Chains A and B, each alone.
Chain A
Amino acid sequence: MTEFTPFLSASGGALIGAAAVLLMALHGRIAGMTGILSGIIPPLASDWAWRAAFLAGAIAAPVVIGLVSGEPVSFHSPMPVTALIGGGLVVGVGVTLGGGCTSGHGVCGLARLSPRSIVATLTFMSATVLTVFVIRHVLGGV
């Protein structure tokens, strides 16, 4: 079980939205983690520097939040290493073929009412629900 946190989750969501708006207002870019990350994987994009800085900021965030709040960040990864490797590979292939993930399609694309992003988001949300259902209630996994 994890605690239902509507207020914190909405506040965090608003911050994610604020970051998306800022990146568009300043850099003219979609705040999609797939697109930003892909640019620093060889062959490097010519504008890799701002991408690397964005990623560094995102990685620093939980450290800063932990220091400011004085409480450890809730985190638990229940899956075994083989699942993480297999799942990670599948995610990498999927987001590259699909041209985006939760942030790019699910937030930025939906906000622009992009038909591509609407199809992508409905597809990955359904696939995720189905996968979790099969693992937890059919196969009886964690």
Chain B
Amino acid sequence: MQRVILAGMVGLVFGAGITISGMINPAKVLNFFDVAGTWDPSLAFVMGAALLVTAIGYRLVLKRPAPLLDETFHLPRNRAIDGPLVAGSALFGIGWGITGFCPGGAIPALGLGSPEALIFVAAMVGGIALTRAARNHVQTRTRNA
């Protein structure tokens, strides 16, 4: 229960950061990427500050043998730089550029009651579910072949 409540509080901090920084606002995000037009460099400050805090914080935290509420740190094990990584990231960038929404910006935007955020998130959830189903299908076929 403690794990769940604390995760909710961390989510609140994350969402507050997204809200205060302007990442919640698709118009602002699109202007950040419009370097040839109405460029708003604000989001470089978001990324810069987030990276600085995380890099320093991780350095201290990951020195410990384990997190406070779990037995181990769950760090990504996949180290491959492969086609899916590059193609997937390129697709994500295209969708981000079309809409101004990324997952971390769109989820908090649901709290504003925005129908646009709701439509985007519904479509994104569909995309996630479809891709996972397709991948499982391919993996099962490969295993059975």
Contacts and interface: CB of A to CB of B under 8 A. Distances in A.
Interface in A30-89: 30-31, 33-34, 37-38, 41-42, 49-51, 53-65, 73-79, 81, 83-89
B123 A88 contact: yes
A92 B98 contact: no
Contacts of B7: 23, 26-27, 50-51, 53-54, 57
| Residue among B19, B25, B108 with max Cβ neighbours from chain A (10 Å) | B19
A14 B17 contact: yes
Q: Main SS of chain A's interface residues?
A: helix
Contacts of B137: none
Interface residues of B, number: 114
Given A29-B74, A61-B11, A101-B104, 11 more contacts: A17-B53, A20-B58, A33-B103, A75-B27, A88-B99, A88-B124, A92-B123, A96-B127, A97-B91, A123-B85, A126-B93
A133 B43 CA distance: 17
Given A37-B128, A88-B101, A94-B95, A78 B42 contact: no
Interface of A: 1-6, 8-31, 33-34, 37-38, 41-42, 49-51, 53-65, 73-79, 81, 83-99, 101-103, 105-112, 114-116, 119-121, 123-133, 135-137
Contacts of A77: 26-27, 99-101, 114, 116-117
4 nearest A-B residue pairs (beta carbon) = A92-B127, A12-B21, A127-B93, A131-B97
Interface string B21-56: 111111110110111111011110111111111110
B9 interface: yes
Contacts of B139: none
Contact of B127 (A11, A65, A83, A88): A88
Nearest to A1: B38
10 contacts: A2-B22, A12-B22, A17-B53, A58-B111, A60-B12, A85-B119, A87-B120, A99-B78, A127-B93, A131-B93
Contacts of B47: 13, 106-107
A5 B96 CA distance: 21
Contacts of A51: 7
